[in-house]
Amino acid sequence: MAGLVLSDEYCYFNSPCVYELFSSKTAYDSVRGDIRNAKVLPGCKPVGVWSLIRHGNRNPGDSVTKNMKTLYEKLVVEIKKQFEEKTNVHCIQDIENCATSGWNSTLEVATKDLTGIGYKEIFDIGKRIRQTFTDVLSFSNNSFYFRSTNEQRTITSTIAFVHGLTDESSLNLDNNIDKPWDQDDVIRPYENCTIYQKDVKTGQVLDDEIAAYYSSAELLAVRDRVQKRLNINYQITAEELYYLYEYCRFHRTWSPNLRDPWCAFFLQEDLEVLEYRDDVRHYYRNGYGSKININLGSAVLKDLFDNFDTLTSTGGEKFIAYFTHDTMIEMTICALGLYKDSKPLRGSFRDVNRLWRTSLMSSFSANIIAVLYRCNESNETHRVQFFLNEKNTNICPEDGCTWEQFVNKFQVYSNSSIEICSDNEYAFHQTNSGYIHTYFTMKLLILLSILVSFRF
């Protein structure tokens, strides 16, 4: 049995700079901005805050947990043996850290549950909003509304946010948290959308692109490099490689210094390739790879526009926060037209300059926040600031959109509908990918044949 050999020039445990982007499992603090840096708008007062927030850091799901445990038990025996024998081990500290790290059995009984780290992420978002828009605490109690999907991680995130928002104040908004809806077509419309569930989430296109990724030369090269660093006497599969990556990326988010010893087997170039797998997966499952995702993302933007439009008409105040999942965040980003590449992502080829980066868009606690201001300037009545992960976007400039600009951008969503989900004749087109549902294609061919027959 060969010994574990890492690079002669690299030790993970004391590396001054480690890679921080891990797709949708990226720690929020690694990519967020700070809404407290939002530009102050003189003469304007916030009267409406609307937000769509992904739950905070969570445990892995049941399948991932089982596969991680199987791989851990398989590898840790070899690693302990190599550490004890001290044979051919360069970075002994990395190997010792792996050998002495135990399996966390809590993961097996709390799959997908919000973690303490996740609670703090969301609590802090609420706190920063309170510190930035201090006037919202003067809103009447019935102006606040909170709702989540029916999952432990989103329900608990809602509680964390409300407590962060009201911390250090006498305001109690616990009763303003609505119960999850049995069918929520605003913040989880895809869940009951038959076309999405059949043709997108479990569709052949997604499977084909992921298969192409796993068989790509770049991914296989990563597997070989990691295999060499492990220096074990059996070949790890591409799937085992990915579960080692899963172990690394989940566990590092629970560490105060955002490191985990099991990440030591990857160099940055490996992590960049592994990060791409979820970019491809989410592109076709939640993103521009499927046209229906844009329709599904438009539903929640209708809610945003309708609420702000009502406020400008009635002169009232409103604070709305929804808690959902990365699927909804990414669909909404698509409906907004953000992070759109000129060419579709492919599993077989990684464009290092791609715009679609789930690490930057949909990390744990990812969020979309819009703020409506009432202004006392004679030439305008309202302005809107728009943030993604507490950063400005090109949706509105730093000092906000005028109300007219906002209407021009968002009124289109007021007609959004998810009736398409029950339309059996929907021409399901995989955007830019060449996969087209046969219904309208067949009708077009029939029409052309009729025209040709009349011509001749």
CA pair distance 301, 308, nearest whole angstrom: 11
Catalytic position from the list 55, 282, 325, 382 = 55
- Are 132 and 36 contacting, i.e. CB atoms less than 8 angstroms apart? yes
Cα dihedral sign, 110-358-197-219: negative
CA pair distance 375, 307, nearest whole angstrom: 18
Report CA 198 to chain centroid distance, whole Å.
22
Catalytic position from the list 135, 326, 351, 437 = 326
CA pair distance 287, 347, nearest whole angstrom: 14
- 55 in catalytic set: yes
- The closest of 25, 33, 21, 5 to 367, measured between CA atoms, is 33
**Residue type, position 431, single letter:** T
Token duo for residue 230: 């492990």
* H/E segment holding residue 204: helix 204-214
Tokens 């002669």 belong to 8
Query: How many CA atoms lie less than 13 Å away from 172 in the CB half-sphere?
Result: 1
CA pair distance 423, 417, nearest whole angstrom: 12
- 326 in catalytic set: yes
395 contact partners, CB below 8 Å, separation of at least 6: 336, 338, 386, 401, 409
Cα dihedral sign, 306-151-339-396: positive
- Are 262 and 249 contacting, i.e. CB atoms less than 8 angstroms apart? no
Active site residues: 55, 326
